[in-house]
Chain A
Amino acid sequence: MSFYNTLEQFDHFDFSSFFNSVSDDRVRDCLTKEYLNAYDFLTLLSPKAGNHLEMIAKVAQKKTIQYFGKTIQLFAPLYISNYCTNKCIYCGFNHANVIDRRKLTIEEIEKEAKAISSRGIQHILLLTGESRQATPMEYLLEAVKCLKHYFASVSIEIFPLECHEYVLLQQAGVDGLTLFQEVYDKVIYDKVHLAGKKKDYHYRLDAPERGAMAGFRNVNIGALLGLGEMRSEFFFTGLHARYLDDKYLDTEVAVSLPRFNPAECDFHPEFPVNDKTFVQFLLAFRLFFPRAGITVSTRENAYMRDHLIHLGATRFSAGVSTSVGGYAQHQDQSTPQFEITDGRSVEEVVSAISSNGYQPVYKDWDRAI
C-alpha cells in the first residue's frame, strides 16, 4: 500500500462539479462536525466556503487552542549545501542555475549552529540540495552528530532516502522529516522537474511514509502551492497527512503551505494562491485535522504570520537565512533557495508572538528525559 492508491481513486474525480454542488448549508454543516471526512475537507476548500472565512476561522482558532494551547513552536532552517542535480524550474538551487555552489564543512556547520543556538533556537531543520555526491550519508550523519550538541531537536529537509538510510539518521538523533511532494499532479510534476533523481514521482511520494516507518517522531509534508491546481493540490496534501496519521500512530504529522511569493525569482506559477485562499486552506486543514501541526515559514511576510498565529499555525521559523552559511558569515552570502519575506530576528518574532497573547516555544521535545 502507498498513498498513491488513495490518490488514484481521484484520478477521474470531477473537482469542479463537486465545488459547484457545494451549498452554504453544506459548508455550515462541516463547522459543527467533530470528525470531517475527505469530502467535508474538500467542501471547506471550495470557492463557496471562501464566503464563510470568518466563521471557519472561529472554529479553527478554537480547535487549535484546544489541541495546542496558545503556543507557537520556533525553529530555524540551516542550509548546509546547495549542490543539486535536479532541475526544478521554480527553485534557486536548480542545477542549471549558475550560482556559487557551496557545502559547509563540519566546522562551518558548528559555527552556524553556535550562531543559531545563541539566539535561543533549539529546534533546527537541516537542509541540502539533492546531491548524493556532494552530501553523502556519512557527511549527513556527521552534520547531525554535530548539531545534536547544540539543539534539542534536529529535523531534516533533504532529498528522499531509502528507509534504512532514514533509520541511520533517526538513530543518529534526527527526529523530524520534512519533505514536500511539491506537486501531486503527475503530469505537472513531470513538467516542472526537468531532470535529476527528483523526476521519480513515486520515490518522492512514498518518502514521508518511509520516514514514518523509520521511526521519525515528526513528518512534515506539503505541496508547493502554485504549481498545480491549488484546491486539488492542497486537498491531496490533507489526504496524504491523514493517510500517514491513520497508518503510523506514533508519528506526528504536520503540513506546510509553501507558496510562491510574487516578489520571488523569475518563476511565475500557473496557479498563484492569494492571501485569502491561503488562509482558507490553512483553516480548512485545521478543521480536517485538528491535531496536526501547521508550519509557516518566512515565505510568508510578518503581517501574514502575525495574523496566522490566531488561526491555526503552530510552528514558525524565525531569524531565518536560506543561504548556505548565512548565519555565521554575514558577508559573501550565497544565493538563497527562496527569498524570505519575514526578515525579523528571533527576538522580534518572539516578541510578536508574545504580544499576540501566545507563548513562543523554543523546545517541546527532548529525546531523553
Chain B
Amino acid sequence: MNDEGLRLGDTTFTNRLFTGTGKFASNEIIPEMLETSGSQMITVALRRIDMQSVTDNILQYIPDGVTLLPNTSGARTAEQAIRVARIAREAGCGKFIKIEVITDAKYLMPDNHETLRATETLAKDGFVVLPYVLPDLPLAKRLENAGAAAIMPLGAPIGTNRGLETKPLIAMLIENSAVPVIVDAGIGFPSQAAAAMEMGADAVLVNTAIATAEDPVAMGHAFSLAVQAGRAAYLAEAAGQSVVARASSPLTGFLD
C-alpha cells in the first residue's frame, strides 16, 4: 500500500520522522543527521541571546527544504506561547508552531489548559498549530475544533527515553482524531518509534534519543528506518482490516 505522506498545512511530508535541534554535542552534526535520517521537519527554540558569549545561529545548520518547527518552549502561559509564535513567524520561520507550555519543572508535563488557549488564538492567526500535550481524548477533540493541524501527545516525559508509557491513551487519540497524531517526547529507541508508527501514529518527533546517541548521524538513520518499518506494518495491517470491513455481513449474522 502506498504512503501518500503526511499533510500539515500546505506541506506534505513524505518522511514521517520529525527531529529536533536540542542537545547536540555540536551543531555541525545536524545537517548530516538530517541527511541520513531524511527528516523533513526539525524543531528550533527561541531564546534571549547570551550577551556574554557568541551565540551560534542554529538556523544556518538547517538546509533549505527542511521545514522549521519553532517551539514555544520556555512559555508558561498561553500568552507567552502566542508571543513566541508570533516572533518566530516574524523572524521568517514560517507558519508552523509547536505549542509547548510547561508549568511543571519537575516532570516537564505540558499544561494542557494553557496549550488549548494558545491553540485557539494561533490557529485563528493562520498558524499551522501543533500542540504538544498529554494524551487526553476530550482535549484532543477540543484542539481539533480549535483548529490544531495535528495533536502531539507525549509517549513519556521529555528526555526520559521511556518510550510509549501512554500507549493506550495515544491509541484512543489515533482511533478518534480527525487530525494527524504525532508522538512527541519520550521515544528513546527506534523500536519504540516503530511501535508508535505500527499502532497508527502519523509521525514521531525524536530529539534527545538522536542528539545524545554516541553517533547521532547513524542513530538518525536508524530512527528513519524504524519509522518506515512501523508505518509499513501499520499500512499492511490496514489492508488486512479492510478485507474484513468489505465483508459487510456480520460474523454472527448467520445465526439469525
Contacts and interface: CB of A to CB of B under 8 A. Distances in A.
A and B touch in the complex (CB under 8 A): yes
Contacts of A311: 251-252
A79 to B, nearest CB: 31
A58 B255 contact: no
Contacts of A61: 244, 251
A307 B254 contact: yes
Interface string A36-79: 00000000000000000110011001000000000000000000
Interface string A302-343: 010001001100000000000000000000000000000000
A54 B252 contact: yes
A42 B250 CA distance: 24
A307 B255 CA distance: 9
B254 A58 contact: no
Contacts of B251: 54, 57-58, 61, 307, 310-311
Contacts of B250: 54, 57
B255 A53 contact: yes
Interface residues of A, number: 13
A260 B244 CA distance: 32
A57 B251 CA distance: 7
Nearest to A56: B252
B254 A57 contact: no
B227 to A, nearest CB: 24
A275 interface: yes
Contacts of A307: 251, 254
- For chain B, the bracket of interface size reads under 10
Nearest to B251: A57
A276 interface: yes
Nearest to A52: B252
Nearest to A57: B251
Contacts of B244: 61
B255 A276 contact: yes
A336 to B, nearest CB: 27
Interface in B225-256: 243-244, 250-255
A310 B244 CA distance: 10
A88 interface: no
A279 interface: yes
Contacts of A279: 252, 255
A273 B244 CA distance: 29
A54 to B, nearest CB: 5
Nearest to A308: B254
Nearest to B255: A276
A53 B252 contact: yes
Contacts of A310: 251
Nearest to A357: B243
A238 B88 CA distance: 63
Contacts of B252: 53-54, 57, 279, 311
A269 to B, nearest CB: 20
Contacts of A57: 250-252
Interface string A91-130: 0000000000000000000000000000000000000000
A335 to B, nearest CB: 32
Contacts of B253: 54
A24 to B, nearest CB: 17
Q: Which of B250, B253, B254 is the most central at the interface, judged by chain A CB atoms within 10 Å of its CB?
A: B254
Interface string B50-88: 000000000000000000000000000000000000000
A276 B255 CA distance: 6
Contacts of A58: 251
A275 B255 CA distance: 7
Q: Which of B253, B254, B255 is the most central at the interface, judged by chain A CB atoms within 10 Å of its CB?
A: B255
A303 B255 contact: no
Nearest to A58: B251
B250 to A, nearest CB: 5
A303 B255 CA distance: 10
Contacts of B254: 303, 307
Contacts of B243: 357
A311 B250 CA distance: 11
A168 to B, nearest CB: 44
A52 to B, nearest CB: 10
Nearest to A277: B255
A303 B256 CA distance: 13
B71 to A, nearest CB: 35
A246 to B, nearest CB: 28
A228 B118 CA distance: 66
Nearest to A275: B255
B247 to A, nearest CB: 9
A279 B255 CA distance: 9
A310 B252 CA distance: 10
17 contacts: A53-B255, A54-B250, A54-B251, A54-B252, A57-B251, A57-B252, A58-B251, A61-B244, A61-B251, A276-B255, A279-B252, A279-B255, A303-B254, A307-B251, A307-B254, A310-B251, A311-B252
Interface of B: 243-244, 250-255
Given A53-B252, A54-B252, A279-B255, 18 more contacts: A54-B250, A54-B251, A54-B253, A57-B250, A57-B251, A57-B252, A58-B251, A61-B244, A61-B251, A275-B255, A276-B255, A279-B252, A303-B254, A307-B251, A307-B254, A310-B251, A311-B252, A357-B243
The 8 lowest CB-CB distance pairs between A and B, nearest first, are A57-B251, A53-B252, A307-B254, A276-B255, A57-B252, A54-B252, A54-B250, A275-B255
Interface of A: 53-54, 57-58, 61, 275-276, 279, 303, 307, 310-311, 357
